[in-house]
Amino acid sequence: MTSRQRPTTLVLGTSGLGSGDEEAAVDTATALLRSEHFIDTSNIYSGGASERVLGRALSALAPEERAPAAGRILTKVDRDPETGRFDADRVLRSVEESLGRLGVEQVSLLHLHDPYVLTVREALAPGGAVSALVRLREEGVAAAIGIAAGPVPLLQRYVDSDLFDAVLCHNRYTLVDRSAASLFRDASDRGMRVFNAAPFGGDLLARGPRDGARYQYRPASAELLTWTAQAEAVCARHAVTLPAVALSLSLRADTIDGTVVGVSSPGRLDALEQLAATVIPDAVWTELDALGPAPSPIDDSGYGDDE
């Protein structure tokens, strides 16, 4: 018996796009835009180069390709990289910068990105950052607005405001850490779009346990390497790979609308699509559950008390 996966959406992450050879990055961006997947970027990615490269690739597409491709680009507003300012004026300036780089007049989804320099109360206050996002949605600059960050308690407070159409959480719904499960269920029940970013948690689940492997931006502990080696052995017994299973966990979840995975080249896109097409035997999930919870290094305690 094999499990049947529901139709899902891959979202192509572009945080590193444009950080190297820009012409090669434009070629990659063109492949991403023509793939018909959604594309995730941000004002701050590669110092603005990610959006600029996407804009260059978009402008070079044939007219019949350009509008549909533009509609699949999702971006984010970010704090001022020099001052850290993240008020309503900065939100409006951030989106102005993004639209200019992309060469578009509107986006289908605009996230408030990593608002760690603000308290939740400040962000949600009249005249605050969120009020500017709501205004942009009302004016049609953004068809929908979302909140994108890591810590689950922080995201839950934004979701509880009922002001957002979408939520994006990273590194918290993987084979190693499923702490975002309740957040995703709640957001889905509210009718929000749910995005799970970084289903590999770094290179640990993408390349397997080895010396120097990292999870959530830090070196994996010996205990986590041991657990991951056991998970990899489960996969091998059923002739599937650890990365395919790690990706499938997100793709098969009924609360998740989009799984965001970074793509750095056309070859990486092809490999990702092949991973997504892998059918995972039901026995894999049963045996992974039998391993017990992984020793996740993530601790979000302390984020829920922010006023």
Summarize pLDDT for 218-236 with one digit per residue, the tens: 999 999 999 999 999 999 9
Rounded to whole angstroms, the Cα distance separating 205 from 193 reads 25
Q: Convert the pLDDT of each residue in 236-246 to its tens digit.
A: 999 999 999 99
219 membership: H or E segment, kind and range:
strand 218-219
Q: Give all domains of the chain, ordered by start, each with its CATH number.
A: 10-207+246-280 (3.20.20.100)
pLDDT of residue 304 exceeding 90 = no
Are residues 132 and 91 in contact, defined by beta-carbon separation less than 8 angstroms?
yes
Q: What are phi and psi of 66, to 5 degrees?
A: -65, -50
pLDDT of residue 6: 43
| Confidence band for 8, pLDDT divided at 50, 70 and 90 | low
Burial, 203: exposed, middle or buried (Cβ in 10 Å; 0-12, 13-18, 19+)? middle
Q: Is 128 helix (H, G, I), strand (E, B) or coil?
A: coil
Residues 6+ apart with CB under 8 A from 79: 44, 85, 86, 90, 114, 115, 117
pLDDT of residue 303: 79
